[in-house]
Structure 1
Amino acid sequence: MAGRAAEPEVIWARPERAGRGPKPAYSRGDIAAAAVRIADADGIDAVSMRRVAAEIGCGTMSLYNYVPRKEDLYELMVDLVSGEYDLSGRPSGDWRADMLAMARQTLDIMRRHPWLVRVMSSVYSVSPNALRYLEKCLACLEGLDIPAGTKLELIAMINGSAMTFVANERAIAERTRSVPWSAEQEEAVRGAYMMRQVMAGDYPHLAALFASGVAPPDDPEGAFDRVLTRLLDSFASKA
């Protein structure tokens, strides 16, 4: 296949243009932006080298001269949307508050680009915006006295929590897309059915849980903050 390297390579180590010759007609930013537009509109499965090439106005085989593999295209896309983080300002000194704020940004970005849940990978952690994000998180965690590797695990768990929330929201939205009722209506019906089953007496632990009160199902922001706060507190106990 045109453009495929004979050995492993990092797309960021590959020059966008050779030292000589004409300036490329397209930049990686152009290509990534086109792919993100497609994914935002029609999902990640709609992103193909052929469609991206058509979006920017070049031939499919020509696109491989810029992006050797589809996996590289995904990496460009992840990096582009990772640039949506607001990394300005210095850490406040309260690492919990700073990391919760970063987690909320992660949740917002994944909601704007739900296809991220499908393609996110630690393999993409070497891209420019990913490195800036990691650097900011580590700066926020400077006051937390745990090993550096444990800090990276915490960052990964924060991202994983955001991915889980967004994947669940997406699944609910997809389930009700082709039916004449809302996600809230279906959730109410399912909740009522579950309550009847629990209160029948066969599930005493679940009955006790419901009797003690649980988070309201229509409070996803509050639930996310509670989960993240518990996660951050668990790492504080290791210090």
Structure 2
Amino acid sequence: MMHLIKLEFQKYQLWRKWIGVVLAHIILVGMSVLMYYGSALEQEPFDWEMVILMTDALVRGTFLIFSSVIMAQLVAEEYRSGTINQLFCYPVERWRLMFAKLLIVFVFTVVNVVIGNVLNVTAVVILDSVTDVVLGDFSVIMMTQYGIYYVAGLLAAAFLSLLPYIVCMRRKSTSSTIVAGVVLTLFLISSAGGGMTQAIYFFRSLTLGAVALIIVLVTLVRTVRYIGENDVL
């Protein structure tokens, strides 16, 4: 499996996307800083739970879109250009080929959501140590208490990042795959509002993630079965 992933990286030169990833992280930190100062100037009190909730929604939403772009390149572009035929000629089980693509998107989302949250929360912590705007004190104990909810939300984001695969296999279109990622992002960010607590937000995300995982696995099984019964060559 690792060899297949390595081949995918070499084929699409995915390592070159680090520039876009770094730029996305910088923009996200800038947005968190602007939101912090905006709330401070308007004298709207908010606590650390809201900080973590909103920054996490922004980070997850951003990399859901980013992951849909990668999904479109790894899968939809293969069908559009016809290179999928060459790929299926390899002496490797076809489910492994498709699973390797999904695994790349999954790991990409997990890694960048973690990095993004660490950067954004750290930026707000540093600012608040000077201005003291956020209600309450930030502590490791507080983060530990929310740890299980965060892990649930992280896994949900990773599973949701695979959901555009369904659109990708139905439409075989890069644009439709990316649009699916944008729709997921808008839904995710909008669900973070309305005074929702972090526990409810993450539990809802976990439910969505579980549903997404089941749908993606069913789609993957059907895809592999179709490829096996109907040779694409």
TM over 0.5: no
- TM class by shorter chain equals 0.3 to 0.5
* Higher relative contact order, structure no. (Cα contacts within 8 Å, ≥ 6 residues apart): 2
What is the TM-score when the length of structure 2 is the normalising length? 0.38
More helix by share: 2
Larger Rg: 1
What is the TM-score when the length of structure 1 is the normalising length? 0.37
